[in-house]
Amino acid sequence: MVSSITEIKETSNHQKWDARFIKDKIFTGLIILFSLITISPIVLIISKLISKGYKQINLSFFTETTPNTYQAMLANEAGNTIPGGILNGITGTILMVFLASLMAIPIGVLIGIYLYENGTKRYAKIVKDITDILQGVPSIVLGLISYFWVVKFITNGFSALAGSFALFIMMLPLIIRSTEETFKMIPVSIKEAGFALGVPYHKIIFRILIPSGLSGLITGILLATSRVIGETAPLMLTALGSMAVNLNIEKPTSAIPLLIWEFYNDPNMVDLIWASSLLLMMLVLGINLISKMIISKRNL
Amino acid sequence: MLNGEKITKTILFLASLSIILIASGMVLSLMEGTIPAFNKFGLKFITSTDWNPTEGKESYGALPFIVGTVVTSVIAIIICLPLAFSTSLFIGEIYRGKKIASFIGTMVDMLAGIPSIVYGLWGFYVLRPWIVEMGFNDQGYGVFTAGLILAIMVIPYATSISVEMIKMVQNDLKEAAYSLGATRKDVVFNVILPNARSGIFTSYILAFGRALGETMAVTMLIGNSNIIPKSLFDTGNTMASLIANQFGEADGLKLSSLVAIALLLFVITGLINGLGKMLIKKI
């Protein structure tokens, strides 16, 4: 009698456990399924870019400027690849990202150091909050600001400088925060040792803080660069675009994302879209990969 | 010596002043640019649904674009919710510390690296035909298509913060639950979720803030019609994509109206991001 009761209890427990076990399996399965759905776009996008874009990537893609739509139309009709390349975009992107970094790196690192040194002050907290706000401003609004400040007042027309100014405001908060985070991880004792030896303050910054945090600084700068390299919207309002290679910072300049937008709007250029996007993606992912390698080396 | 230190400190302080100048200058410039539109339309600008650039009958209102921006971003968050939640559990709990988790994490990071315009192209050439094929509408453009691409774009942001929050849940709580015979599902819903709830919620607020300001991908997929969308598959326009579309030929009152929209967008994203940051500080 007693044994049969325990038997019943055991089987019912077993069944209950079974149902929970199955539910748990379903739950885990759903999580795995949804995670795979989440990462599927990256696979789909990269494979699409490669399969459609590789034909157009040849030497002239890197050494010649954009063809006009008539040349592209003739090539399409004859079934050839479109002549020319995106040299004007490549040089424009390099020029503007370089100018933006030239402004953003020194100012960003200095502000980062200021926040690290004075983090608890009321004023520093305001600076931090403003940095956060600036980081959340949509890039198109930054383009508009650069239009009012640089296009209208400084260069009197669309220009590479205006484009890089918009990118500069985008990079600034990213570099500030990464600098501050990097310096926070450096042991205070290293800095204090410097002070104890009577090293002047600027030497403590340049000879102690910056060298010991260098890999972190570089990672932050690289990630900020990879964020702005694909920006299109602010450049539409500031750099405008150009069919020729332009290295004059006061003149309209093209960029790879701007060219993609132009190709998208021109049905004759469709083939060039994919190759340009592939190049842009490889640039962004390449920079990301390098910064990841630096991070993993530092953590060893 | 003391002098040198003072100079260094002054330089650092001046650098920090520059970001305050930039930020306050931005607000002032936007406000100044808004004046002509504000004088003409007043607060009706926000509630008006007109967008008529015909000379002499010029009339501009922001409501369709405010609605379009909010609707696409809400669609994005709804789609993002189960996907980002599952992925963050995958990385932060179920396969935590395993190779497969760091692999999925890298893939999600790569999603964050894809430029907006490439998302737009992919949406235009791949996603849009799917929408047409499924018979939702003829052209495939619309707020749903735009929301779908936005969802893919903001998933990495929601996921990376959620992962941090899930990892912060104390191990002994979870172990206690497991030792009582709880399954993984029980632990997720009864231990992790109650403890990381506010952090996970914040990650979606910040992702929402991101979605509000996205321009290029939305411009390429939303259909760019200046009306309030009436259904999920109607075309519409967002504030950011309107600025991108109409800026080229804008001057005078139209330009001022675009600036007013930029100011509104600035304020809305600022509020959402501010809310997110405030919540994250509390955790």
Residue numbers of the domain that contains A36: 2-55
Provide the mean pLDDT of chain B: 93
The whole-number average pLDDT for the span A89-114 is 96
For residue B150, being part of any structural domain is answered with: yes
A159 found inside a domain: yes
Q: Is residue B11 part of a domain?
A: no
Query: Is the CB of B212 less than 8 angstroms away from the CB of A138?
Result: yes
**Shortest Cα distance from A126 to chain B (angstroms)?**
9
Indicate the pLDDT class of residue A299, thresholds 50, 70 and 90. low
Tell me the ipTM for this assembly: 0.94
B208 vs B191: CA distance, rounded Å: 26
**A111 inside 8 A of chain B by CB:** yes
Q: Which residues pair with B51 in a beta bridge?
A: B60
Cβ–Cβ under 8 Å, residues B238 and B68: yes
A31: contact with B, CB 8 A cutoff: yes
Mean pLDDT, residues B66-72 taken together: 97
- Find the closest chain B residue to A275 by CA distance: B118
* Band of pLDDT at residue B261, cut at 50, 70 and 90: very high
* Residue A35: inside a domain: yes
Q: What single string gives the DSSP state of each residue in A132-177?
A: HHHHHS-HHHHHHHHIIIIIIIISSS--HHHHHHHHHHHHHHHHHH
Average pLDDT over residues B216-234: 93
Based on the fold, state whether residues A148 and A220 are members of the same structural domain. yes
Judgement on whether residues A241 and A163 belong to the same structural domain of the protein: yes
Helix (H, G, I), strand (E, B) or coil at B51: strand
Clarify whether residues A50 and A94 are in a common domain: no
Q: Output the domain CATH number for residue B150.
A: 1.10.3720.10
Which pLDDT score, from 0 to 100, does residue B138 have?
Answer: 84
Instruction: Tell me, yes or no, whether A286 lies in a domain.
Output: yes
What is the total count of domains within chain B?
1
Residues A144 and A269 in one domain: yes
Long-range CB contacts for residues A117-124, cutoff 8 Å, separation at least 24: A117/B12, A119/A180, A123/B16, A124/B16
Note which residues in 240-299 of chain A have CB less than 8 A from chain B.
Answer: 257, 260-261, 264, 273-274, 277, 280-281, 284-285, 288, 292
Q: Least CA distance to A240: which residue of chain B?
A: B248
The full DSSP string for A60-107 is HHHHS-PPPHHHHHHHHHHTPPPP---HHHHHHHHHHHHHHHHHHHHH
Residue closest to B277 by CA, chosen among A176, A180, A184, A131: A131
Q: Which of B130, B240, B95 is nearest to A41 (CA)?
A: B130
CA-based nearest distance A24→chain B, Å = 5
* Residue B142 to chain A, least CA–CA distance (Å): 18
Distance from C-alpha of A226 to C-alpha of A291, rounded to nearest angstrom: 10
Long-range contacts of B254-258 (CB under 8 A, 24+ apart): B254/B53, B254/B58, B254/B60, B255/B33, B256/B33, B256/B34, B256/B35, B256/B36, B256/B37, B257/B37, B257/B41, B257/B45, B257/B60, B257/B62, B258/A144
DSSP one-letter code for B186? H
Closest CA of chain B from A78, distance in Å: 24
Q: Is the confidence at residue A1, as pLDDT, over 50?
A: no
Per the domain annotation, does A73 fall within a domain? Answer: no
Cα(A55)–Cα(A129) distance, rounded to whole angstroms? Answer: 48
pTM over 0.95: no
Contacts of B12 in chain A (CB under 8 A): 110-111, 113-114, 117
pLDDT at position B2: 58
Q: Which of B20, B30, B107 sits opposite A39 (nearest CB)?
A: B107
Give contacts of B94 with chain A, Cβ < 8 Å: 28, 31
pLDDT at A20: 84
Based on the domain organization, do A164 and A278 belong to the same domain?
Answer: yes
Total domains present in chain A: 2
Asked if the structure places residue B183 within a domain, the reply is: yes
Q: Is B212:A140 a contact under the CB 8 Å cutoff?
A: no
- Claim to verify: residue A48 and residue A96 sit in the same structural domain: no
- Measured from the Cβ of residue A106, the count of other Cβ atoms closer than 10 Å reads 12
Q: In angstroms, rounded to a whole number, what is the distance separating the alpha carbons of residues A87 and A62?
A: 5
- Please say if the pLDDT value at position A183 is more than 90: yes
Nearest-CA distance from A233 to chain B in Å?
A: 6
Q: Are residues A125 and A227 in the same domain?
A: yes
The answer to which of A153-167, B82-96, B129-143 has the lowest mean pLDDT is B129-143
Query: Are A121 and A185 members of one domain?
Result: yes
Look at B71 and A191; give whichever has higher pLDDT. Answer: B71
CATH number at residue A280: 1.10.3720.10
If asked whether residues A237 and A171 sit together in one domain, one would say yes
pLDDT tens digits, one per residue of B167-180? 999 999 999 999 99
Residue B3 pLDDT: 77
